[in-house]
Amino acid sequence: MKPIIVSGVGLFLTSFGLLAQQAPPRELDIEAFVEERFAMQEEDVPYEDLYESLLQLYFQPLDLQVATSSALQSLYILSPIQIQSFINYRNQFGKFASIYELQAIPEWTLETIQNILPFVVINSSNTNDALPSLKRIKKAENAYLLFRHRKVWQTRKGFSPPDTLSNGDLSNRYLGDPNDLYLRFRLQQPADFSLGLTLDKDSGEKFTWDPKSKRYGFNYLSFHYTLYNKGKLKALSLGDYQLQFGQGLVFGSGFSVGKGAETITTVKRSSTGLRPYTSVMEAGFFRGLAGTYSIGNIEVTGMLSRSSRDANLQLIQDSLANESSYLSSLVLSGLHRTESEVQKKAQATEHNAGFNINYQLPNKALRLGANALYSQYSQALIPLERIYNQFEFRGKTNFTTSLYFTYNFRNHYLFGETAVSKSGGLGHVAGIMSSLNSKLDFSMIWRKYDREFHSFYGNAFSEGSRPINEEGVYLGLHFKPNRKISWSVYYDYFSFPWLRFRMYAPSTGYEWLSRIKYQPNKQMILFFQFREEIKSRNVISENQTSSQYLLARGKRQNMVWNLTYQPSRWWQVKTRVQQSFYLIDRQKSKGFSISQDISTEMGPWRLSGRVALFDTEDYENRQYLYEKNVLWAFSIPNFYNQGMRVYFLAQYKLNKRLTFWGRWAKTTYTNRESIGSGLQEIKGNELTETTFQLRYLFNR
pLDDT digits (tens, 9 = 90+) for 143-201: 999 999 999 999 999 999 988 777 767 778 999 999 999 999 999 888 889 999 999 99
- Cα-flanking dihedrals φ and ψ of residue 119, to 5°? -115, 5
Asked if pLDDT for residue 255 goes beyond 80, the answer is no
Find out whether 302 and 355 touch, Cβ atoms under 8 Å.
yes
More confident residue, 268 or 425: 425
Find out whether 617 and 591 touch, Cβ atoms under 8 Å.
yes
**CB 341: neighbour CB atoms within 10 A?**
19
**CB 323: neighbour CB atoms within 10 A?**
9
Helix/strand/coil for 5: helix
pTM above 0.85, yes or no: yes
- What are the b/e assignments for 660-687, b being 16+ CB within 10 Å? ebebbbebebeebeebbeebeebeebeb
More confident residue, 257 or 376: 376
**Contacting residues for 548 by C-beta, under 8 A, at least 6 apart:** none
Instruction: Outline where DSSP puts E strands in 497-523.
Output: 507-521
Query: How would you class 55 by CB atoms within 10 Å of its CB: exposed for 0-12, middle for 13-18, buried for 19 or more?
Result: middle
Return the CA Rg of the chain: 26
Q: In the structure, what pLDDT confidence band is assigned to residue 469 with cuts at 50, 70 and 90? A: very high
pLDDT digits (tens, 9 = 90+) for 627-686: 889 988 878 888 989 999 999 999 999 999 999 999 999 999 999 999 999 999 999 999
Find out whether 659 and 604 touch, Cβ atoms under 8 Å.
no
Nearest residue to 433 via CA among 417, 449, 409, 402? 409
**Contacting residues for 115 by C-beta, under 8 A, at least 6 apart:** 33, 77
DSSP per-residue letters across 615-627: EESSGGG-EE---
Q: What is the 8-class DSSP label of residue 411?
A: T
With pLDDT > 70 as the criterion, what percentage of the chain qualifies?
88
Asked if pLDDT for residue 5 goes beyond 50, the answer is no
Q: Is the dihedral of CA 389, 390, 392, 397 positive or negative?
A: positive
For the CA atoms of 115, 34, 52, 306, the dihedral, rounded to the nearest 10 degrees, stands at -120
Nearest residue to 171 via CA among 159, 153, 154, 189? 159
Query: How would you class 588 by CB atoms within 10 Å of its CB: exposed for 0-12, middle for 13-18, buried for 19 or more?
Result: exposed
pLDDT digits (tens, 9 = 90+) for 518-541: 999 989 999 999 999 999 988 876
Q: In the structure, what pLDDT confidence band is assigned to residue 31 with cuts at 50, 70 and 90? A: low
**Type of residue numbered 219:** N
Cα 307 from Cα 284, distance rounded (Å): 11
Find out whether 415 and 443 touch, Cβ atoms under 8 Å.
no
Cα 91 from Cα 105, distance rounded (Å): 12
With pLDDT > 90 as the criterion, what percentage of the chain qualifies?
57
Asked if pLDDT for residue 12 goes beyond 60, the answer is no
pLDDT digits (tens, 9 = 90+) for 353-392: 999 999 998 887 899 999 999 999 999 999 988 888 899 9
Mean pLDDT value across residues 461-473: 92
**CB 84: neighbour CB atoms within 10 A?**
22
